[in-house]
Amino acid sequence: MVKVAVLGAAGGIGQPLSLLLKLNSNITELSLFDVVNVPGVGADLSHINSDASTKTFLPSSKEDKTALLGALKGADLVVIPAGVPRKPGMTRDDLFNINASIIKSLAEGIAESSPKAFVLVISNPVNSTVPIVAETLKQKGVYDPARLFGVTTLDIVRANTFIAQLHPGDSKPSDFNVNVVGGHSGETIVPLYSIGSSASFYNKLSEEQKKELIHRVQFGGDEVVQAKNGAGSATLSMAYAGYRLAESILKSFTSKEEVVENTYLNLDASIKGAAEAKKLVGGLEFFSLPVKLGKNGIEEVKYEILTKVSADEEKLLAVAKEQLAKNIEKGVAFGK
Ligand SMILES: NC(=O)C1=CN([C@@H]2O[C@H](COP(=O)(O)OP(=O)(O)OC[C@H]3O[C@@H](n4cnc5c(N)ncnc54)[C@H](O)[C@@H]3O)[C@@H](O)[C@H]2O)C=CC1
Ligand SMILES: O=C([O-])CC(=O)C(=O)O
């Protein structure tokens, strides 16, 4: 029995993400929460003849907390794409003022109704919203850092696609699983193309092409924001990426093989490898890195990758760390 709750289920990401989750045979119950339109989304999905049951929860007023608490009750995994997306000319940090309080109130609901759930945070700015959730759960005395995941999977998905596009004929996107570390906005996103199966392809590029490729991964979100021209940001590719992380987590419960994904996590000393990682990232409390997944959440941080980076990547990391420190501080201060 696996219950998954989607908070913000009627949105641009929430709808296709809920569709993908409805198709997952490991999920028995899908719980859809939003402040608008969610009954229609639920009715539509409920006709699909996959086995997960579908329930919807819509608050009757701003003060009504029962819908959220009902949606979350007994949830094993909670995915949060609730909040506002960017318009052209905005940074992810510009979303902080609106999304920070949305995230905080949702985290309070989680603390009350599903304190043991795995929480996957999609809402931007991820660099700050994840610390907000951590602080909120800490205050409520239910925080387990191994169960909190900032969703940065879209950066990896993009990094794989964009390098393959530079080598048409001799590679395809599915050949790659590029490590992208750091955070999830602009220069805090650091693709480590020099490591693993991407290295030989990356090394064939000119210096100019390398720079352009890294910039494209760091600012890939802007491409979609501009193309949508005021109608929002990435939703379909994001639903795919969020689903990939959720699916991997569920798979890790029963898999005999190691399941590893990248996530923006709290480098808390209770997690194996986190103290080593924290030292390597200059003491930052949050950072996206590959982690080993399992029944209890994040079982181990694969920090070794940080010891293998090239001199150029080291420079990118220095910039990322400086910006991340500010984003984390802002989230922690708000969460408190
Ligand atoms: N982590 C990542 O890689 C990515 C993150 N995002 C972020 O995801 C968020 C959602 O994006 P979209 O789905 O495109 O936006 P959207 O506006 O289409 O959908 C957001 C949904 O959240 C709902 N919502 C608002 N307040 C709520 C609350 N208090 N409780 C529950 N639901 C609430 C809205 O009613 C709406 O249905 C944005 O913050 C966006 O920046 C987007 C793409 C990639
Ligand atoms: O760019 C945005 O605002 C949405 C996002 O996080 C992404 O597409 O990576």
What per-residue confidence (pLDDT) applies to 75?
98
Residues 6+ apart with CB under 8 A from 209: 166
Percent of the chain with pLDDT over 90: 97
Q: Decide: helix, strand or coil at residue 97.
A: helix
CATH topology of domain 3-150: Rossmann fold (3.40.50)
Mean pLDDT score, 158-186: 95
What per-residue confidence (pLDDT) applies to 157?
98
What per-residue confidence (pLDDT) applies to 318?
98
Indicate whether residue 235 lines ligand 1 (CB < 6 A).
yes
* Token couple for 202: 């990356």
Question: Which ipTM was obtained for this model?
Answer: 0.99
Mean pLDDT score, 21-48: 98
- Please, which pLDDT band fits residue 129 given cuts at 50, 70 and 90? very high
Residue 141 alpha carbon to ligand 2 centre in Å:
31
Distance CA 331, CA 92 (A): 13
What per-residue confidence (pLDDT) applies to 145?
98
What per-residue confidence (pLDDT) applies to 86?
95
* pTM for this prediction: 0.98
What per-residue confidence (pLDDT) applies to 254?
87
- Please, which pLDDT band fits residue 44 given cuts at 50, 70 and 90? very high
What per-residue confidence (pLDDT) applies to 320?
98
What per-residue confidence (pLDDT) applies to 144?
98
What per-residue confidence (pLDDT) applies to 227?
97
Kindly report, residue by residue over 68-86, the tens digit of the pLDDT: 999 999 999 999 999 999 9
Mean pLDDT score, 94-101: 96
Question: If you average pLDDT over every residue of the chain, what do you get?
Answer: 97
Ligand 2 atom having least distance to the Cα of 238: 8
Say if residues 153 and 245 touch (Cβ distance below 8 Å).
yes
- Please, which pLDDT band fits residue 293 given cuts at 50, 70 and 90? very high
Indicate whether residue 95 lines ligand 1 (CB < 6 A).
yes
Judged against a pLDDT cut of 90, whether residue 169 lies above it is answered with no
Kindly report, residue by residue over 185-241, the tens digit of the pLDDT: 999 999 999 999 899 999 999 999 999 999 999 999 999 999 999 999 999 999 999
Q: Choose among 103, 42, 35, 100: nearest CA to 64.
A: 35
Question: Whose Cα sits closest to atom 24 in ligand 1?
Answer: 82
Cβ neighbours of 306 (radius 10 Å): 22
- Please, which pLDDT band fits residue 58 given cuts at 50, 70 and 90? very high
Catalytic residues: 184
Indicate whether residue 124 lines ligand 1 (CB < 6 A).
yes
Domain range annotation of the chain: 3-150
Distance CA 113, CA 91 (A): 33
Ligand 2 atom having least distance to the Cα of 154: 9
Residue 115 alpha carbon to ligand 1 centre in Å:
22
Judged against a pLDDT cut of 90, whether residue 168 lies above it is answered with no
Indicate whether residue 13 lines ligand 2 (CB < 6 A).
no
What per-residue confidence (pLDDT) applies to 55?
98
Residue 140 alpha carbon to ligand 2 centre in Å:
30
Side chain identity at 207, as an amino acid letter?
A: E
Tokens 């599903």 belong to residue: 114
Residues 6+ apart with CB under 8 A from 16: 235, 236, 239, 240
